[in-house]
Structure 1
């Protein structure tokens, strides 16, 4: 609990200093707050349990629904009025319309219009033509090993190999989009971006695959691009190793805009599953307890590589230069990391992830069932308004009563 680290010279432990100097400490999702109390700052919690709280993150419905998805905002307002914009809990009322064919059709129509708009945007700015009737499968977030864009890559390669093996089968067409930025000095993250674009170069130019699978890297991912892609997304990828994502807010934005989530029980996904019903998300993979148990016995990547033929094929293609024919060793560092020292256990969740993606593909072929699940998700978004988060911070940390009253700015002292 010392404020001074003694290893390799004396250094200030900033996390410890922050805890000692603060009157309240909080995680930003319930699972995050519990991990802080149970492991990361266990001694501090036991010393002063009253100091520790939880404040699950939120997003503002003004920007992330009304502004970026006015079509959906209007369809909702036609059913339950406009007050939900300031009281997002009112979205629960939408459950009354989950079997209403007209509402189901209206929600699906808005999604398709958003997909057509984004398809036109991609054609104009990326010079790529995509099938607007395909599933828009999207993972946009910082590029980082723990967020496991590499697991997504392995699914893309597996899907590609399956299509190549049997192109006549009734596949669910997918446009898989990955976007995000890497920290300037983060070599592995830069190589992950290179792998995504290299896979796209092979997949997108294979005439056997055609419109069945497209891979797009969304460059310069930022708020203005998020406001376009999120309303157009069908599937939201939230696939971090359980116990590594503090909360996430992109997951909430996708949920509010009518995308279904494929994800692990990590960050705010846990509470999203509670609010919408776990059966209305595509949950897969290890839980926090499973990860902790594996840490005790050791993670053996080779055992998965040797046991799962499709995983072995994908890894052999990456390591053998199939996706980098001019530079066969280009991805050697990524392969070594995945095989020898992967802290985030990508292979351990591969089999469950692929099986769950198969379930996603099957459901997408039933538009009515898919949209009913979407409505359950939108109706469960009330908890994830930043209005609720800010009110909790005000009342429970700052000791203030939140107010909608507009207070004039103080006079300019200059």
Structure 2
């Protein structure tokens, strides 16, 4: 639904309350002249203020929501000061030098009726200018329809056009999956998504009833085509805006960090972080290899010359996410800014969503998770969660060389395979995944 209807209705209700004030006179009672319009105006204005805040930050990149909130607060303060000055001026003009009760009431009610008109006009204009909620990019679509040419090259590539670095299989939940004799996968290279031509299975004929798309975007049933009928199937797949993707198994998950040679060599030798690593500072872990490469410049930035693949327990990783707080205020996730500040003060973990990067470090539409561990979480990370540390600097530099040589396919194949991480629903809500 979005904030548009709440902004409109709340503004009009608030305007009605102010207009009700505007009919007061010297004979008006407390119940009909003060209490009633106060309740109506407070309900309407309160609803419109919340909708205004939501509209102001919706669609704003996560790293700029603080800036958007600051601009909103500044404009709100400026508007309040300017509006009050205008209304007082109007009231004073009506009252003039006459200080009788009837004249005072007439002056104030005139300014209140003007305020009602301005609020109603602002609600209508705001609702018209408020952007409509974006439709989900994961709307299920069938992967084959009768009438499509068997030789039609109808698949789409996104942004980079190169094959990819994530493998999607029939075991991946929430993704549209085409089954050729039980399984087919895409390999996606720069974080973009692409369908490769379907490879045939001899002896299997296409079932005209399938594939069917379920409400969650899963393909129901299977499809088989003979080698003579091999065709490129039109496919459109987009990852969710905020999705945790990682290299993981049943018990562990791999995260990445980059340090100086002194810290990295001591950590690799000890199997965990030891001095000169500092437990007093917040340490950030990244499940995305490509985002880590963007952050450290393929291991070329000062103090980040060595890239480490740190294997930690999934239970520890999920504990950190469960205990986390977003590093910036998001109205859709917290009841108000005070609630966010209260959690921020008590949480030992910060999370933020930054644009995922392709092989050229260009930002993509979807986001990648960064997790900042501080306080007691650092001790748990170092002493309990880490099961192994591997120096992957040579692999990083080899992939960088392939990219520099324009061998994007080879670079994509060399990337770690990162799959959507199966988060419990409660944890997904805490970190704003989806």
Question: How high is the TM-score relative to the length of structure 1?
Answer: 0.24
From the two aligned structures, give the one with the greater helix fraction.
1
Which entry has the higher C-alpha Rg, 1 or 2? 2
